[in-house]
Every structure is written in structure tokens, then in C-alpha cells.
Structure 1
Amino acid sequence: MGGVYAERPAPAGLACLWTRTVTSSTVQRVVPDGCTDLMWSPVSGSLFVAGPDTQAQLATVQPGTLYGVRLPPGAFPSVFGVPAHAVRDLRVPLSSLVPEARLESFSDMVEFCASRVVVDPSLAATASLLRSGDVASVAWEIGLSARQLRRRCLDAFGYPPKVLQRVLRFDAAMRLAWGGMPFASVAFEAGYADQAHLAREVRSLAGVPLGQLIRP
């Protein structure tokens, strides 16, 4: 990934606070995780939002420290006032979404997100069910039609249900792999049919093999 990356706990409703510091221009591979981020670069003065990704993106990080506030899946609309699918696979200036926002520091970013985020237990339940169940069964279990579930997922998470399912499963697999679990066990624990299925999904979503992706 390059540089020094660090996370620290965030206020309730937010996923985490993070920084990445590099001493020279670095290309970073950003893989889908279902989350969205508000990011600030003091060097350039840019303050922008990273929407939910459907595949890996390569971003050039300039020397200095990049600050980020990560929102959990489903939280984007409550903070920025637009459906998550509107910024899918995009990097958008904060001023385009919330023109009245005046943020001048990392603490301002944290306060902005923490004061606006709304935690919706029904969305967390939907995501949890989709991690392990097929879309039709999940829609039936929560009392929605397939069309209603699709609309809910697009608005809250930025993805249709099947894509959300793939991204959440992929993110779970990445966490296990980074923890040192053997790849065959990762495939089983994350819900893939087998290790070959895991390998195909990693290549599709991340653009590189799993071994290369988790290489220090």
C-alpha cells in the first residue's frame, strides 16, 4: 500500500478515523469495502468524498499526510444528503454535496460526520443477512419485494443487493487474510464455494491475486 497507515477509534456511528503519511508520491490500490470516506489533504487543501467502489481504484497519494473519516456501509445518505449510488466509484469534492460545510481541520471533519450520521439498525440487519443469504430469501425475510430491496440497497449502500453481497463477502475475506489465515480457510469462513471461487472474486474486485494484495 505504501507509506504509514494508522487507524484509531471513532465516535459512535462512524467506522474509524485514519491517516496515511507518505514521504514521496505513491500509487495506492483502494479495494471495495462497502464503506465511504471523507478525506482531507492539507498539502493540496482538497476535501473530498470517496464513494462506494465496485472495483479497485488506483490513487496517487502525494507526499504528506492524508486524513480520513470512514463511514460504515449504509451511513452515507445521512451524512451527505444524497443516495450513495450517486457517488458510486467517484471521488467528489465535499462542496459539491454540502456547499455550506466549512471544515478547516481534522477535528472539524470528525465533528461534521459524527453530528450528522444516523445509525439505522434495519440497514445493518439487511447487510448482515446479505452476507450469508441469497437475495430472494433476504427480501422475503425482511418483508420487502425484490424491487424494494434493490432500491433500499442502492440508496443506502450504493450497490444493488448482489453487488453488495459480493463486496461485503470480499471485505470479510480480506480481513481474515490480513490476519494470517490460510487462503483455503479464508474461503470457507467468508462463505465462498471454494478457494478457486475466492481467487476469482479477488481478481475481479481487486484486480490482482490475493497473495499480491495482502503482501506487505
Structure 2
Amino acid sequence: MGRTTVENVAEYRERASRLDAAVVWSRTMPAHPAPVTVLPDGCMDLIWTEGALMVAGPDSRAFVAPSARSTEFVGIRFAPGTAPTLLGIPAVELLNQRVDLTALAPPRFTRELIDRIDNAPDRVAAMEAIALRFAAENGPTDPVLTAVVDTLSAGATVAHTAASTGMSPRMLHRRSLFAFGYGPKMLARILRFQRALTAIRTGIPPARIAATTGFADQAHLSREVRYLAGCSINTLKTR
């Protein structure tokens, strides 16, 4: 999933990570960057920038990051539900937040990670190595959570998702807060929005998008885009 909509950006690159379902990325900003709009996708990121590491929590609506003084960013985007296990941080505690890693982990440990990326000849590879270290130390994500994402991504209801993964609705909601930062109904809305976003960017007419991605009608699609992205469908086409 593409996480950001970037305006006035000199260069952005991403590739699949050796960590399952993750993406590593880098971004070089111009001298006077515009704000960056991050669209909700259920993911969390670990981000390095000039002597700092931060965790970008899951977003429930579009997040507008203010203009940054830094010009270089490197990150790894974790698939929905995976970061809390790897980082040991419940997603709900980071909902709609960007938090310095020093507030979440021992300062000495965080400083070690920052120095490693600061001094690396390939900062993207260094970030990836750190994520792989987290995975080796903290174990794999529960496959049930992956099944939740896959089932909701296919358009299933929350009730069907709970039943198919062997959980009660209450248990599914509780585990979703830890893994995704919000309940399964909100996660389903965001995953549906991401399906629609892919179609919007390929120029498919909104009425057809609504009919094929799980919306009641075009008006429903427009309302969801306005709520989650903070803009119109036409604006998304240009981002």
C-alpha cells in the first residue's frame, strides 16, 4: 500500500523489504518543502531523519505533517497489524500520532539505532536490518491477525471475519485495538478506502469504483473519501 501523498517532493523511492510484507523507502525533500499529507492505510512506520527515529502510528484520517527542516528521510512501512508485535507497542497508544522512539524505548538503545543509520553508507539497508533484528528478537506476527486483514480486505463483514478467525466479536475488537489501533469496522473502512484509492488513481469512473469496491453508491464513496482523506475524489486523482 502506498502510504503518503507527497507534494513538492524532489525524490521518493520504495521497494519491498526482506521483512515479510514490509516496504522500505527513502525521501529527499526540497529546500523549502510543502506539507505532506499521509492517507490512512492501516500501516505503521519507523522513520529516521537526521539524528532521530520516530514511530508513525496508524491513522484514522488524513494526517498533514508540517513542513520539516530535515531534507532526508528513511523509513520502513510495516503491514497492518505487524508493527505492535515487532516494536512491542500497542497500536492504539500511537493512534494518529508521531512519537519519538526515545519516548518508547530505552534512550541508550535508541541512540545506538540512530547512530547506526546516521553512519551507514546505505541508510535504507540499515533501517531494514534494524527491522529484521526486531523481528528476530520479538518473533513473527500472529497469523490470525494477517487473516483478519486478508478477510476484511476481501470485503467480508466484521461478523464473518470474527467467525472465520475463531474469535468472538468482542475478542476481535480487543485484539484489533492492539494490532491496528482501532476496531475491525474502522479497519475495514480504511482497507476499502485503499481499494478505492488504487482505482481512483487509475482513472476509473467513481460510479464504477463504488460498485466494485464495496460502497453502497457513488455518494457513499464520496463521503468516505471526504472523511478519510479530507478532500474530494477529483483532488485524489492528482495526488
TM-score, length-scaled by structure 2: 0.83
Aligned to 2:148: 126
Aligned to 1:139: 162
The root-mean-square deviation of aligned C-alpha atoms, in Å, is 1.6
What secondary structure sits across from 2:66 in the alignment?
strand
Match of 1:71 in 2: 78
Figure out how many residues of one structure are paired with residues of the other and give that number.
214
The separation in 2 between residues aligned to 1:142 and 1:196, in whole angstroms, is 32
Letter in 1 for 2:158: V
**% identical equivalent positions:** 40
| Whole-Å separation in 1 of the counterparts to 2:103 and 2:126 | 18
Say which structure is richer in strand.
Answer: 1
Amino acid at match of 2:130: F
Residue 184 of structure 1 contacts residue 195 of structure 1 at CA under 8 Å; is this kept in 2?
Answer: yes
**Partner-residue secondary structure (3-state), 1:137:** helix
Aligned residue number for residue 62 of structure 2: 56
Aligned to 2:120: none
Moved more, 119-128 or 196-205: 119-128
The residue type paired with residue 114 of structure 1 is L
> Which runs of structure 1 show a deviation greater than 4 angstroms over 4 or more consecutive aligned residues?
none
- TM-score for both structures, normalised by structure 1: 0.92
Q: Cα distance, 1:121 vs. partner?
A: 2.4
Unaligned stretches of 5+ in structure 1?
none
- Are residues 165 and 58 of structure 1, via their aligned partners in 2, closer, same or farther at CA, if it must alter by over 3 Å? same
Q: Are 2:15 and 1:12 aligned?
A: no
Residue 33 (structure 2) aligns with: 25
Which position in structure 1 is the counterpart of 2:186? 163
Contact 2:174 2:183 in 1 (8 A): yes
Contiguous gaps of at least 5 residues in structure 2 = 1-5, 118-122
Using the alignment, how far apart are the partners of 2:164 and 2:173 within structure 1? 14
What SS does structure 1 have at the residue aligned with 2:99? strand
CA distance in 1, matches of 2:215, 2:151: 15
CA distance in 1, matches of 2:15, 2:152: 28
